[in-house]
Chain A
């Protein structure tokens, strides 16, 4: 049912590398979100967007950045990965209408060595 895709599913990378986590949805949703989740812990909102050229910081401070040049695409970038960035990153989207449900991707598990 959910047409939201995240790549890669798993990523192991060395410290200092630049990485981009991809998130795409084919539902035409205006709202998109990035959450960060450590094992067994709650989800923390790190970025969200209401539409093209709109990006906002979430509740958890993050060194990552996002962009929203196209409706369907909401990539997250880390300029210089560190071990503290090791976590699961989950992307979600919803329609702009009030209280529309969130659709989540399968997540990217990032490990920085």
Chain B
């Protein structure tokens, strides 16, 4: 199964943009890229997903490299409430849909 690689942790200042990278060099053509985040003491919540084109929603933007071997989650203006663990996962429901989470990136926001 295709895997993702993310930095263990990142820091950012409040009210600045944050770029969270994810490498998925073995991604297949039918894998979607999903991002979730987990706030302290809560279950994960969906952030965004995409296949090839960049995606925007009210929470974030997803920039996908042209070769699809990497992607970047962009938080345009970080707040203290964005401090969480961010997970990048690949999902292909054409295969057995075991949704596997990696270790994610722990994002620290500095006031």
Are the C-beta atoms of A98 and B93 separated by less than 8 Å?
Answer: yes
Q: Please, which residues of chain A bring their CB within 8 A of the CB of B49?
A: 99, 101
Hey, what's the 0/1 contact readout for A90-113 against B, CB within 8 Å counting as 1? 101000001101111111000000
Q: Which of A33-47 contact B (CB under 8 A)?
A: 33, 35, 41-43, 45
Stretch of B20-28, B70-78, B101-109 lying at the A interface? B101-109
Could you tell me the distance between the alpha carbons of A50 and B49 in the complex, rounded to whole angstroms? 21
Report Cα–Cα, A113/B96, bound state, in Å.
36
Chain B interface helix/strand/loop/mixed: loop
Q: Judge whether B46 and A101 touch: CB under 8 Å.
A: yes
Interface residues of B in 57-93 (CB under 8 A from A): 87, 91, 93
Q: Shortest Cβ distance from B99 into chain A, in angstroms?
A: 7
With A98-B93, A99-B49 already in contact, the answer to whether A106 and B42 are too (CB < 8 A) is yes
- Chain A residues, CB < 8 A from B29: none
A31, A33, A43, A59 pick with most chain B CB within 10 angstroms? A43
Chain A residues near B44 (CB-CB < 8 A): 43, 90, 92, 102, 104
Complex Cα distance A24/B87, Å?
24
Task: Tell me which residues across on chain A come within 8 A of B103, comparing CB atoms.
Answer: 41-42
A75 is an interface residue with CB less than 8 A from chain B? no
A74 at the interface (CB under 8 A from B): no
Interface assignment of B19: CB less than 8 Å from any CB of chain A:
no
* A104/B45 in contact, CB under 8 A: yes
A-B contact pairs, 19 of them (CB 8 A): A2-B45, A42-B101, A42-B102, A43-B44, A45-B99, A45-B100, A45-B101, A48-B99, A58-B98, A90-B43, A98-B94, A99-B34, A99-B93, A101-B34, A102-B36, A102-B99, A104-B42, A104-B43, A107-B42
